[in-house]
Amino acid sequence: MTTVSQVMQSVQGWEKYQLICAARPFSLTVALMSCLQGIMLGWAQSAQPLLLGLLILAGGILLQFGVNLINDHSDLKTLDQRFAGLTAAQKYWLQQAIIRNYRLGLVCFAIAGLIGLWLIQLRGLPLLALCITGLAGAYYYTQEPINYKCRGLGVPLVFLLMGVMMIGGASYVMSGSYDWTVFYLSLPLSLLTALLLLSNELRDYEADQQVGQTTLTVRIGYDFACKLYKGMVYLSFILVALLTWQGLVPSPWWLLLSLPALRQPFTLLKQPAEQRQALTPLTGRFHTLFGALLLLASFEIL
């Protein structure tokens, strides 16, 4: 009996639509780190910190899974461009894999929404507005009629939705209140959350350009996007220094331990397309390390 792998073996790059690859587990650090920072910021003011923290983590991770799984749905329109010379059988299996992932992504959104409804009963209408904005932003990242990724808005909106708003929302659920200190403390990690998306655009620059996906990187050009990548990294450290100056980050020296994790991503920025595939997971590794060290620096866990 012919397997899917045998049908698709001559199609280079089809593996991205397999369930594990489509879920992009390395990117779950986005939801994990953002939720953890918000949880920690509101922990001391929470009456049920463990229960609320677990619910926030579950909702955030499901939301991230949903975003990842529906992300390739727009590829249905460009399969012939992305994969030249597909047979009917090969195109069918690619379509079925994309549709399966999309449906599972919607299931993740639905479960995250149910968790959100439970938390809304606790915190009220402000959280309802935040949840609606977050779900809409997650869905329309690649979906029409908005598809803000192809409008060049992916990086700034991920900074806002998966960074500032997710951290602030988690803190609000924990404590029932929100202040500007939470906003300021969310900025360094939010920048690196957007950086992870930018790394994805840099990795796929040539492929996106070929099929007409006008991401931010395609719009501003590869060289300028590389400068933006480095600038966002530098700015995240500058922001930590400013927060330290204001007395909001008591032990900033922990962050220096993340610097070695930048060597490989910075090197890959200079490489041709076929050698840049590791750029996104390596950026994810730096994001995770920076986020964990920021928690140590901010809350003096050790």
- d(Cα 84, Cα 282) in Å, to the nearest integer? 29
CB 216 within 8 A of CB 174: no
- Estimate to the nearest angstrom the gap between the alpha carbon of 165 and the chain centroid: 13
CB 116 within 8 A of CB 131: yes
What is the per-residue pLDDT for 1?
45
What is the per-residue pLDDT for 28?
87
Could you tell me the domains of the chain? 14-299 (1.10.600)
Q: What is the mean pLDDT of the chain?
A: 88
How many Cα atoms occupy the beta-carbon half-sphere of 267 within 13 Å? Answer: 8
Task: With cut-offs at 50, 70 and 90, classify the pLDDT of residue 300.
Answer: low
Task: With cut-offs at 50, 70 and 90, classify the pLDDT of residue 301.
Answer: very low
How many Cα atoms occupy the beta-carbon half-sphere of 190 within 13 Å? Answer: 21
* 107 has pLDDT over 80: yes
Task: With cut-offs at 50, 70 and 90, classify the pLDDT of residue 3.
Answer: low
Task: With cut-offs at 50, 70 and 90, classify the pLDDT of residue 159.
Answer: very high
Residues 261-279 pLDDT 10s: 999 999 999 999 888 989 9
Residues 6+ away with beta carbon under 8 Å from 186? 37, 38, 163, 164, 167, 168
Task: With cut-offs at 50, 70 and 90, classify the pLDDT of residue 9.
Answer: low
Q: What is the mean pLDDT of residues 184-197?
A: 95
What is the per-residue pLDDT for 5?
57
Task: With cut-offs at 50, 70 and 90, classify the pLDDT of residue 155.
Answer: very high
CB 95 within 8 A of CB 59: no
Integer distance in angstroms from the first to the last C-alpha of the chain?
57
Percent of the chain having pLDDT more than 70?
A: 95
- d(Cα 149, Cα 280) in Å, to the nearest integer? 17
Residues 211-254 pLDDT 10s: 888 899 999 999 999 999 999 999 999 999 999 999 999 989 99
Percent of the chain having pLDDT more than 90?
A: 57
What is the per-residue pLDDT for 208?
85
